[in-house]
Amino acid sequence: MVKQPEQEMMLREDLNVGQLGLISIQRKIAPDYASWKVAFERAGVPGEIECNGAQKYGVPHGIDNDSYLALQELYIEHGCPEDGRFGFTMYRLLQMCGLDDSGANRRMMRESLERLSATQYWISGAWRSHEDDDWVTAGFRLIEKLVFTRARRDTEGAKLIAVTLPRELTRNIRNGYFKPVSSTLLRQLGQPARAAYRVLDALRHDPVQHQSRAASFQINLMELAQRCGIASDKPDKIRRTLEPIHDDLLGAKYLREVSITGRGKKQVVSYVFGQAVPEPDAELVALLVAMRVPIVAAKKVALDYPEHVRDGVRQARAIVERGYAPQNYVGFVLDVVRSYGNGKYAWPEGTQAPRVVEEGRERAQVRVRQDMRAPDEVMRAPSAEDLARTLAFLLMGEGVRKEDLARLPLVTLQDLHARLLGRPQEDRAETARQVKTLLDARP
């Protein structure tokens, strides 16, 4: 979606949205298709979803897949504000959806946002709340609040848009319950293959251990139609809808094999997947998490701008240490890292940036391994809260919580941090066992 032809950008979205099939992959729907209701099991847990859209717009479908992915990405770009509210321009939204800035596209995108805002979902027992480690029943709209601010002469669309995403979604994203989406793959595909890719990719993830991703899986044809929002109960029509999608995904090498066996409504679709999704450097993510950046945003920036993270974090810390108090601290840190080296932010007086030296025909970056502050000052070491946050990320999946780590002495947290950075997963598991022993021994 984001036009970055020379760089793979990994987008992120809440795992529930794709697995539950909240937005139909179909480009067009019948004029009177304004509601639906489905029941199924998710990880052995029975659930039911009811969707009620406005008759004027119908249920979410087609372009809404792109616009809602873009909204989640914009939410992350803004530092994952706790109230779920952020603003952007129509031009930025169109850009993220890979659309030209035309009057027709502005009208289409405005209708998409209005449709997402007007549609009410009731999800019974099927919404995964990552923070609570539980399945919950919830009712919400994918956009809880939508505000357009339009210049008087701008008859084609909004000058500024403000949205508020539902708390159920933003809590999950801030707590790391998301899956990666390849922007490179999105650029290769058209609709509805682009939306189907995200549904299939979501179904590959275990809904509880959400970082676990299968290399293959099987699914009943009729259940797959539900998850994709294909409005038909006729197996032959469903197969005809899926055939060109499968061809596109095979051509893009996302799928390696597809087969359909059985008869009638008992047909089973088997998928074998191709390319793997890259993961960011854990040390870079840890540096950002220590700066209070939510895990989802930290992973994205570490993957998209790995060469900026170390020096960008040092620059952001140096600026804040000199007294600058940004209104949006996380947004400021992310902006410094993403824009590092382009001159947008200056190093404070008395600090020294990494210098670039020329050796013959090669230019090599040499990081200056010294305090970024004046000699009479001392760089603020990470606080106990910073270290607890970082360690909780590094020990994710080992059953160690930030709240528990915060009970340990600062010197212990510093020692654990030094031992964990750059170590393989098996070493982290051993450290987690030691941490649990320490916590059990404390009153």
Are both 133 and 194 inside the same structural domain? yes
Cα–Cα distance measured from residue 248 to residue 365, given in angstroms and rounded to the nearest whole number: 42
Position 122 pLDDT exceeds 90: yes
Q: Domain of 175?
A: 10-273
How far, in Å, are 31, 46, 132, 302, 306 from residue 312 at the CA level? 51, 46, 33, 11, 10
- Find the length of the chain: 443
Q: Residues 123-180: pLDDT tens digits?
A: 999 999 988 889 999 999 999 999 988 666 655 555 789 999 999 999 999 888 888 8
Listed residues 273, 302, 323: the one ending a domain? 273
pLDDT over threshold 50, residue 356: no
Point out the domain boundary residue: 247, 273, 299.
273
The encoded tokens of residue 426 equal: 């098996």
Q: What is the pLDDT of residue 373?
A: 35
Asked if 212 and 40 count as a contact pair (C-beta separation under 8 A), the reply is: no
Q: For residue 269, count other CB atoms closer than 10 A to its CB.
A: 22
Task: Decide if pLDDT at 363 tops 50.
Answer: no
Do 59 and 107 lie in one domain? The reply is: yes
Tell whether 3 is covered by a domain. Answer: no
| Cα–Cα distance for residue pair 81/227, rounded to 1 Å | 30
Q: In what order do the strands lie in the sheet with 216-220?
A: 216-220, 268-273, 255-261
Q: How many structural domains does the chain have?
A: 3
Q: Is the separation of the CB atoms in 157 and 106 below 8 Å?
A: yes
- The backbone torsions φ and ψ at residue 425, rounded to the nearest 5 degrees and listed phi first, read -60, -40
| pLDDT tens per residue, range 410-421 | 767 777 776 666
Using the predicted structure, report yes or no on whether residue 443 has a pLDDT greater than 70. Answer: no
- pLDDT band per the 50, 70, 90 thresholds, residue 280: confident
Q: Are 229 and 28 in contact (CB under 8 A)?
A: no
Asked if residue 23 has pLDDT above 90, the reply is: yes
Regarding pTM above 0.75, the answer is no
Same structural domain for residues 185 and 243? yes
Residues 6+ apart with CB under 8 A from 70: 1, 93, 96, 97
- Coil vs helix vs strand at 127: strand
**Is residue 92 pLDDT above 60, yes or no?**
yes
| Cα–Cα distances in angstroms (integers) from residue 369 to residues 315, 379, 389, in the given order | 13, 13, 25
Same-domain pairing of 71 and 210: yes
